[in-house]
Amino acid sequence: QEEIEMWKGRDPIARFRQFLIDEGVLDDVRAAEISQAVKEEVAAAVAFAEASPEPDPAQMEDEVYA
């Protein structure tokens, strides 16, 4: 648990968000709006993926060059 908390403190997204706020480029309201928009976009992508049909295993090696 201690290591998890240490790494949360090193989160580059949270650190950059705080940097932008400290520099006056971003405020808490706009940061919250961006965060909400990202959550909605991710949720939509997850819903799309879950609703999509399973891929055909026969095509697994299509478009693979090696």
pLDDT at 64 over 90: no
When pLDDT is cut at 50, 70 and 90, the band that residue 66 belongs to is low
pTM here?
A: 0.68
Output the CA–CA distances (angstroms, integers) from residue 18 to 28, 44, 54, 60, in the order listed: 9, 27, 40, 43
- Which of 40, 62, 55 shows the shortest CA–CA distance to 32? 40
Mean pLDDT for the stretch of residues 46-61 = 93
Q: 63 near 54, Cβ under 8 Å?
A: no
- Tens digits of residue pLDDT in 15-34: 999 999 999 999 999 999 99
**Average pLDDT for the chain:** 94
What number of other Cβ atoms are within 10 A of residue 31's Cβ? 14
- Say if residues 28 and 35 touch (Cβ distance below 8 Å): no
